[in-house]
Amino acid sequence: MTLSRRELLPLWSGFVLLFAAANAVSAVHTDPAVEPATAAAPQPAPCPSGVLTRDCRGQDFDYFVSGNPAATRPGKTRFGLVLMGGGGYIDAAYEELAQRAGRGHIVVLRATDDHSFDPEDGKLGPLFLGKWGQTVSCQTFTFHSRAAAFDSRVIAALTNADGVFLAGGDQANYVHYWKGTPVQRALNDLVKRNGPIGGNSAGLAVLGHYSYIDVDGGSLESKDALADPLGRAVGLESDFLHFQGLENAITDTHFSARSRLGRLIVFVTRLNNGSSSSRVYGIGVDERTAVLIDADGIGHVVAGSEGSAWVVTLDGAKWVVAQGKPLSAQNVVIKQLTQTGVFHAKDGGVDKPASVKRVSLESTTVVADEPLKSMMLRYQVPAGED
């Protein structure tokens, strides 16, 4: 039997609808962008009131442990500061931290401004016990409040630590939770007893004697800092951590990728404003890059780093910082430190720099060659940037 075109049309329309529906169902199961939400990760048991022996979830902190915190340290500790710019692991930098800790006890510190739980917070423990140096233990504390900085178990872990690593996040939480507490004293004491300390991203941001703290809950863009150097958003801290080798430094992170040269110049001019010596310098570290500083204050870019460190000094520069007005600065010195160079942490000197350039800023005009001009500031922040 042959059907007419008029009789076929309803059948064909129904087939098209069924085909479209089938494809829609298939898309729900195959397109990663619309995968059904997964169940929340299981949480460990609540922390006991006494000794911590396993991963647990507390009111003021979460705790993760790998290895045996009571074991004997195999080797001797050696001082070192490990400055990591964020954006990924540099294995050699973590290995250096583990070795300088005598392959003993590492304590990782994190902080959040809420009571959220992240099972990934303890992920560095197995790495320190494994490929990064076979340390005997690694304990991680994720702070949820300032009260944790007075907990005797936290302080005991830091007192017995052979090395400490400050993870990424928001450095304002570190200052708000730890300044004026036993944690601040324990971190400063660690360095005095030749223990190494490293920091990544926000952890690096507080390693210098001076540090930038985001007072408004966001990250300061260079364009905003340059427009109003004395504005409230340019929050500078000068009495938090005091580590040998970085007494005259302010640090910055994610440096080239987030165009932070402009804001670091603002930090340095602010900190030297009214001083005749211009002794404070800035060091910004690129993503997937690390700088190691030893007990003599000599530093170098760690092997395996993908970028550079950039040192900002005001030798021979002139600048004007005025309330409500853009920064005016001439002849600011920018030195590029790569794996072939040598860094002098006391004064920001660089032997064998990859480049040495001077930049000037006047209102909204930037006088600089590339790549410094692109590193100076940006006008758009990529979606999803943390």
Evaluate whether 229 touches 259 at the Cβ level (below 8 Å).
no
Q: Would you place residue 6 in the very low, low, confident or very high pLDDT band (cuts 50, 70, 90)?
A: very low
Per-residue model confidence (pLDDT) at position 269: 96
pLDDT over 50 at 337, yes or no: yes
| pLDDT of amino acid 359 | 95
Could you tell me the CATH number of the domain that includes residue 154?
3.40.50
Q: How far is CA 153 from CA 39, 85, 133, in A?
A: 32, 30, 25
pLDDT by residue (tens digit) across 33-81?
Answer: 333 444 566 789 999 999 999 999 999 999 999 999 999 999 999 999 9
Nearest to 59 by CA among 1, 143, 123: 143
My answer on whether 219 and 343 are in the same domain is yes
- Grade residue 367 by pLDDT with cuts at 50, 70 and 90: confident
How high is the mean pLDDT of the chain? 89
What total number of domains does the chain contain?
A: 2
- Of residues 37 and 222, more confidently modeled: 222
Confidence category of residue 87, pLDDT binned at 50, 70, 90 = very high
Percent of the residues in the chain that have a pLDDT greater than 70, as a whole number = 89
Q: For 190, how many CA atoms within 13 A lie in the half-sphere containing its CB?
A: 29
* Dihedral sign from CA coordinates of 68, 69, 70, 74: positive
Q: What is the mean pLDDT of residues 259-266?
A: 97
High-pLDDT (> 90) share of the chain, % = 82
> Residue 384 — very low, low, confident or very high, per pLDDT cuts 50/70/90?
confident
Question: Which of 207, 226, 245 is the last residue before a domain boundary?
Answer: 207
pLDDT at residue 20 greater than cutoff 50: no
Q: Is residue 321 scored above 50 in pLDDT?
A: yes
Residues 56 and 159 in one domain: yes
Whether residues 354 and 265 fall in one domain? yes
Assess whether 200 and 279 both reside in one domain. Answer: no
CB of 293 closer than 8 Å to CB of 311: no
User: pLDDT by residue (tens digit) across 112-122?
Assistant: 999 999 999 99
- Evaluate whether residue 34 is within a structural domain: no
- The whole-number pLDDT of residue 10 equals 41
Residue of 122, 149, 157 lying closest to 44 (CA atoms):
122
Alpha carbons 185 and 178: distance in angstroms, whole number: 9
Domain boundary among 173, 207, 241: 207
What pLDDT score does 233 carry? 93
- Does pLDDT of 32 surpass 60? no
Among residues 207, 229, 245, which one ends one of the domains? Answer: 207
- Asked if residue 218 has pLDDT above 80, the reply is no
* Range in 15-19, 167-171, 271-275, 311-315 the model is least confident about: 15-19
Q: How far apart are CA 163 and CA 148, in angstroms?
A: 20
| Rounded Cα distance, 288 and 88, in Å | 5
- The answer to whether position 19 is within a domain reads no
Domain shared by 182 and 227, yes or no: no
List beta partners, residue 250.
210, 282
DSSP states of 294-362 as a string?
-TTSEEEEPTT--S-EEEEE-TT-EEE--TTS--EEEEEEEEEE-TT-EEETTTTEEES-SEEEEEEEE
Over residues 286-313, the mean pLDDT reads 98
Residue 11 within a domain: no
Does residue 332 share a domain with residue 314? yes
pLDDT band at 155 (very low <50, low <70, confident <90, very high): very high
Predicted confidence (pLDDT) per residue in 227-260, tens digit: 999 999 999 999 999 999 999 999 999 999 999 9
Buried b (16+ CB within 10 A) or exposed e, 346-378: bebebeebeeeebbbbeeeebebeeebeebbbb
Task: State pLDDT tens for residues 351-360.
Answer: 999 999 999 9
CA distance 324 to 336: 31
- Answer yes or no: do 45 and 142 share one domain: yes
User: Is residue 346 over pLDDT 80?
Assistant: yes
Range of the domain at 283: 213-288+299-381
